[in-house]
Structure formats: C-alpha cells, structure tokens
Chains A and B, each alone.
Chain A
Amino acid sequence: MIRVLFAIIGGILLGGVVHLVSVLALPRIATQDAYSRLTALTTLNTVTPLPLADPSHSPMPFMDPAFAVAVCRYDLSSGSIKLTVPVSQAYTSVSFYTRRDVAYYAINDRSAGRKVIELDLMTEAQHAQLPEEEDVTAADRLIIDSPSTTGLIVLKALAAEPGMMAQAQGSLAASKCRVQTEPPAVKPSAKR
C-alpha cells in the first residue's frame, strides 16, 4: 500500500516536470501557430496582403476587422531587409515577430514621425558588421535588430470607417520589403 502511495506522490512530482517541459516546448512544436498559418499564405521577403477577417474564413483568430493587414515573412540569411511603408490617413503600424511569434518590436506612424515609415531590419551579426560611419547616421535611419533569422513583419492600416478600407489597403499595397543583397560595406557610397 505504501508503495502505491509513493507511486502517486512520485507521479505528481514527475507530472510537474512534464508540465514545465511541455509548456516550454509548446511554442516549438505547435503546428498551427501564426507563423505556420501565414507560411502558406505569404511569399518570402515580399509584402503579401492578407484577406480581410470575416466570420467564415480568417487567417488567424482575434484579428481586428477594422484593419487592413499585410505580412512580410522575412529570412535575413541572404542579407538585411529594407522596409518602406507609406503612412495611411488614419493610423499605420508595423510590428515585428520572431519565428516563435514573440512581438519584439512595434512602431506606429506617429513615433516614426514621417509620411513614410522606413527601417532596416538585420540580425545582430549583420548590425555589428556595419561600418562605423554608417552607424553615425543611424539617427535618420532606423535599424532594428532581429533576434531570429526568420520571422514576420506585420503591417497594419486602420480603416476608421468601412468606406476607408480600400484606401488603407492601397497604402499597404504601396509598401515594400526588400532584401539588400549587396554587402553592407559598399552601401554608404551607393546610398549617398
């Protein structure tokens, strides 16, 4: 009898370990997470507009139907990415997610402070390789370090009224997400 009691207590303790391990492993083994769902709908390193959320079909749960959404699924292994998003009339935001759906950075049109949100996305290693003088001009060039090589950039434009949806989608359609293939060392002369 005492052995059965030991088995139960031991089982519960071991269960705690199983619980912790499975919670930590869940983001890695999930097959229906946002990144996996969007993989089928998007092309790599290109801005792809998502279909509007509607009751019968929506790409992800809990999408805000008042927003036009476009996604750039990125892979930085061949170079950094330059993103330009023209600001729509009401509200525009750009959010960055890692491969495991962690939101590591988000910016909106007001904090960008311009008519066009322009940023460079690179891995920490690529950022470290930038020449010094390039870093000095970082004040007018927003550089974002991605913690993972792959991930998602989600562009959102608010349609404050349903009639504005076409306009919001139009401004997202004009946004670009491009790999900068040339090595970063020659970039300053090419830019200026």
Chain B
Amino acid sequence: MRLIFITLLALIIATAVGLGATWITATRGTDLGTLTIGPWTARPRTGTADVDPYSRATIARSGELPIGTGDGIAFSATTDDSKRPLDGRCDVIVSGVTPAARFWTITLYDRKGHLVANSLQRYGFTSEEIVRNSDGSFELHVASRARAGNWLPTGGIERYALMLRLYDTPVGVATRTQRDAPMPSIATAGCS
C-alpha cells in the first residue's frame, strides 16, 4: 500500500513538473539563441532549418509561421527601454533609426498575436509610409488618442507587443550588438 502511494506521488510530481515546464517554455519562450538589442528580441535561428526544439514547440503552439532567414528577421518588444511593459493607455514613443534593410514594417499586436481594432484601420507602418525627420530618423507615437505625425493607435488595450520586421537585410544569425543593428528606442512618455 505504502509503495503504491509513493510511486503514485512520484508519477504525479513527474507529470506536473514535466508538463508545467513544457507549458511555460512553449508560451513564454526561452533565451536559447535570442538576439537582444535594447528592448527588442529576435530569434534569427527560427528562420532556418536548425531551429532549436523549444522554438519549434513555441511555433507549433502559437500557430504562426516564422519568417525565413532569406526573407528577413522579426524583432519583438513587449517592454520599453526601462523594462516597463508596453501599456496601451500610455503614450509610447518609438524613435530613432532602423538597421539596414530594403524595407521594414512595424506592427502592433495584442499579446496573442492579433491585430488591434481601430477606426483608422491602422495596424502598423511600413518604411515607405512613415514620415521622417530631415536626418532620416523617425518618431512614432503609439497611443490610444490621436497624435500629430506618425500615430499608431493602441485601441486602449492594456498590454501589447510591437514587432519590427526587417526585409532583405544583412541582420541575422551573425548579428550580435547594437553597433551591427541600431534599433529604435522605446520610451513611455506619460499615462492617461
């Protein structure tokens, strides 16, 4: 009787620990092979055939298709420069320059990867659309209420993610630091 109880306990712990760890790594992702530049992270290897098992599990669970390395690279950000989570009720300013790429797009998603509804049907900007300063840098206002210049509406949702995708770019597996890839900064200006 005692033996059965102890075996059962061991098996229950094994199931809970094992599946729990899998669930956490598949939803949150791991730091395996990530490229982090400021608040932006990318996983260059997910676009190649030698993608790690944890990224494969994450991709299978979410149902997305990773962007192929010959196509481009995707950087995502869920916090600003000072590690504060991006809040749709606040004014967030994304400013600076982007790494060399033929085209880039910046898109706002909710935490599950859906676009956020707004009356303008504005879900992101492409490198062609965005209005730049005379020195080539840009300033993008991510806020719930209309702003002058480049305004990306948040729809007032609490938590969101920004994704910056570079297409036809030298940035990839070999990239290590900010010097190779100057990413724009993200700053929370104030909350309403």
Contact = CB atoms under 8 A, between A and B. Distances in A.
A binds B: yes
Nearest to A93: B71
B69 interface: yes
Contacts of A91: 102-103, 167-168
A14 to B, nearest CB: 4
Contacts of B57: 23, 26-27
Interface string A137-152: 0000000000100001
A108 B10 contact: no
B135 interface: no
B2 to A, nearest CB: 7
Contacts of A106: 47, 67-71
Interface string B58-72: 011111111111111
Interface of B: 2, 6-7, 9-19, 21-22, 25-26, 46-49, 51, 53-54, 56-57, 59-72, 74, 102-103, 105, 107, 109, 112-117, 121, 123-124, 126-129, 163, 165, 167-168
A53 interface: yes
Nearest to A34: B65
Q: Which of B53, B59, B72 has the most CB of A within 10 A?
A: B59
Contact of B63 (A37, A54, A161): A37
B70 A158 contact: no
Contact of B16 (A15, A24, A160): A15
A96 interface: yes
Given A27-B60, A65-B124, A103-B46, A15 B129 contact: no
Contacts of B105: 64, 66, 158
Interface in A99-114: 100-108, 110-111
A58 interface: yes
B59 A66 contact: no
A83 to B, nearest CB: 15
Contact of B115 (A6, A26, A55, A102): A55
9 contacts: A8-B10, A15-B15, A18-B15, A26-B61, A27-B60, A34-B59, A66-B105, A95-B71, A103-B65
Contacts of A160: 103, 126-129
Contacts of A131: none
Q: Which of B25, B46, B57 has the most CB of A within 10 A?
A: B57
B15 A158 contact: no
A136 to B, nearest CB: 25
Interface string A16-51: 111101111011001011101100000000000000
B66 to A, nearest CB: 5
A24 B49 CA distance: 15
Interface string A54-95: 111010111111100000000000000000000000110101
